[in-house]
Copies of this chain bind each other. A is one copy, B any other.
Amino acid sequence: MSGARKKVTLDGRFQMHRGGYLESPTLAYETWGELNASRDNGVLIFSGLSPSAHAASSADDPSAGWWEDMIGPELPIDTDRFFVICVNSLGSCFGSTGPASINPKTNEMYRLEFPVLTLEDVAEAAWRVVEHLGVEAVHTVIGCSMGGMSGLAFCVRHPDAARRFISISSATRAEPFSIAVRSLQREIIRSDEKWLNGNYAVDDPPIIGQRLARKLGMMTYRSAEEWRGRFGRERVTEEGHTGDRSKIEFSVEAYLENVAQKFSGGFDPNCYLYLSHASDLFDLAEHGGSLNSGFKRLQLEKILVIGVTTDILFPLHQQHELAEGIKEVCPDTSMIVLDCLRGHDSFLVEMDAFRPVICEFFESCVDR
A12 within 8 A of B: no
Nearest B residue to A312 via CB reads B224
Q: Are A176 and B227 interface neighbours, CB within 8 A?
A: yes
Q: Are B181 and A208 interface neighbours, CB within 8 A?
A: no
A residues near B, CB below 8 A?
18-19, 112, 116, 118, 173-177, 179-181, 183-184, 186-188, 190-193, 208-209, 212, 215-216, 219, 224, 227-228, 230-233, 242-246, 249-253, 256, 273-274, 277, 280-281, 283, 312, 315
Chain B residues within an 8 Å CB radius of A315: 224
Q: Are B242 and A116 interface neighbours, CB within 8 A?
A: yes
Nearest B residue to A250 via CB reads B179
Q: Report A219 CB to chain B, min CB distance, Å.
A: 6
Q: Are B283 and A233 interface neighbours, CB within 8 A?
A: yes
Given contacts A224-B315, A252-B176, contact A245 B281 (CB under 8 A): no
Q: Are A176 and B281 interface neighbours, CB within 8 A?
A: no
The 11 sampled A-B contact pairs (Cβ below 8 Å) are A116-B242, A175-B228, A175-B233, A176-B227, A176-B228, A176-B233, A176-B252, A180-B227, A180-B253, A245-B273, A245-B274
Bound complex: CA of A215 vs CA of B253, how far in Å?
A: 20
Bound complex: CA of A250 vs CA of B277, how far in Å?
A: 11
Q: Are B283 and A180 interface neighbours, CB within 8 A?
A: no
Q: Are B224 and A179 interface neighbours, CB within 8 A?
A: no
Q: Report A90 CB to chain B, min CB distance, Å.
A: 15
Chain B residues within an 8 Å CB radius of A179: 233, 250, 252-253
Chain B residues within an 8 Å CB radius of A212: 184, 187-188, 191
Chain B residues within an 8 Å CB radius of A19: 242
User: Per a CB cutoff under 8 Å, which of B190, B232, B283 touches A246?
Assistant: B190
